[in-house]
Amino acid sequence: MPKNKQSRLKDIFEESIKEHCKKPSSEPKSYEELIKPIYGVVKDIKGYNYNPFNETRFGEKSNIHNSGYRATLEIMLENDSLTKKLIFNGGNCQIGEGDKIKAYVFAGETRIIGISNFKHSNYKKEIFIPRKLDKEEIALYIEKIKEGKAKETYYSVNYSPKK
């Protein structure tokens, strides 16, 4: 592909990103910038353990799952936020009713923006756009608060903190 045609495609791609992000509320941010805290007191907590082998018959393989084990917590919060229910995919979380917590959630949505010339190259970019919190959110990690400080931190299996 001639260099000036390649350059023109990149320009079109950058213009499409700018066009998509004209609204101030939809300006792309980094993933980390969109991780927001939710404070609350644990009102109720339910734990679910999931083992895919429980649904298979002897000598057969599960059509849905190959392997694994999953522990999920549903945490109901008492707070001033819209979010009243957290889903935490981590299970080994030592919190109970009455505990004060600070949960971190991803308050964004992922969009793929791109163009293609169908011959030589595709230009795609994953961007993160801010969104309002919902009544139910998935917690990336949870801090247990005692005496005004985070004493324990529990990470979801779906999240690896950057250090």
Q: Are 156 and 88 in contact (CB under 8 A)?
A: yes
Please, what is the end-to-end C-alpha distance for the chain in angstroms?
41
User: Looking at the DSSP assignment, which residues form a beta bridge with residue 104?
Assistant: 37, 141
pLDDT confidence of residue 16: 63
- In this structure, the strands spanning 100-106 and 149-155 are unpaired
Tell me the pLDDT of the chain (163 aa) as tens digits. Answer: 455 666 766 676 666 666 655 555 567 888 999 999 999 999 999 988 766 555 544 444 555 555 556 688 999 999 998 999 999 988 678 899 999 999 999 999 988 876 665 555 566 778 899 999 999 999 999 999 999 999 999 999 888 887 6
0.85 cut: is pTM over it?
no
pLDDT confidence of residue 54: 54
pLDDT per residue as tens digits for the range 32-45: 999 999 999 999 99
pLDDT confidence of residue 57: 46
pLDDT confidence of residue 1: 47
For residue 159, give both structure tokens.
């999240």
**C-alpha 105, offset from chain centre:** 7
Q: Using alpha carbons, list the distances in angstroms from residue 37 to 54, 59, 113, 123.
A: 36, 46, 28, 34
pLDDT confidence of residue 127: 87
pLDDT confidence of residue 88: 93
